[in-house]
Each structure stands twice: as structure tokens, then as C-alpha cells.
Amino acid sequence: MTVDHMEDVCEACGCVAEVGTIIRDGDDIVMIPVEGDDEADARARQERYIEVAKLACPEVLVSSELQTVEDGVVLNTTLQFTCTAEKMIFEMRARSVR
């Protein structure tokens, strides 16, 4: 069995990207450390990420673990999407959440 790799060359700058390295099947999980002064603050910030995630994938699975740190808390949030494309859409949209 052979594996074909497709390369795209950007005409503007000449950069080469192997498509299989950009979008990998099964790459559908995002882990985000959401920091806050207290649990309520961290959960409010987490909710903004969840709202953006649900725009990309209404069926996104959300789990989190609260950790106390010196300056407050960190809510380690895991978002599992149904496919890699939805994860990528979320990542692009989430840039404005921070």
C-alpha cells in the first residue's frame, strides 16, 4: 500500500506545505487552561470558549478540572470535537476570546 502526499506551493511566497501535516485525521481535541481569580471568574471565561466551540460543533464534548494556583485558579478545559475541521474552525474563532 502506498501513501500519496499532496503538497501545495504558495504562488506568492513559494512556501511548501504537506497537506497531511496540517490536517491530521483524529486531531479533534483542544486543551485550554482557563485562568481566573476564583472559580466563578474562571467558569465565566470558560463559558466564552464553550460558546465559540458550539458555533463550530453543537455536539462538542466539554470536560474540565479545577486547579488552585498561587494567583487564583486554573480550569483545565478539554473540548472534543467530532472532526478535525471543527477543531480548526474553533481555533481560528477562539483567537478573539482571550
Res 1: pLDDT = 45
pLDDT at 2: 46
The 10s digit of each residue's pLDDT in 9-63 is 566 666 665 555 566 777 899 999 999 999 999 999 999 999 999 999 999 999 9
pLDDT for residue 68 is more than 90: yes
Domain hosting 34: range is 29-95
Separation between Cα atoms, residue 30 and residue 86, nearest integer Å: 11
11 belongs to a structural domain: no
- Is 72 contained in some domain? yes
More confident residue, 74 or 19: 74
**20 in a domain, yes or no?**
no
When divided into structural domains, the chain yields a total of 1
CATH number (domain holding residue 83): 3.30.70.860
Q: Examine the pLDDT at 91 and tell me if it is beyond 50.
A: yes
Q: Is 90 exposed, middle or buried (0-12, 13-18, 19+ CB in 10 A)?
A: buried
7 within some domain = no
Question: CA-CA distance, 18 to 87, in Å (whole number)?
Answer: 19
Residue 18 maps to a domain: no
Model's pTM, two decimal places? 0.74
- Asked whether residue 12 is domain-assigned, the answer is no
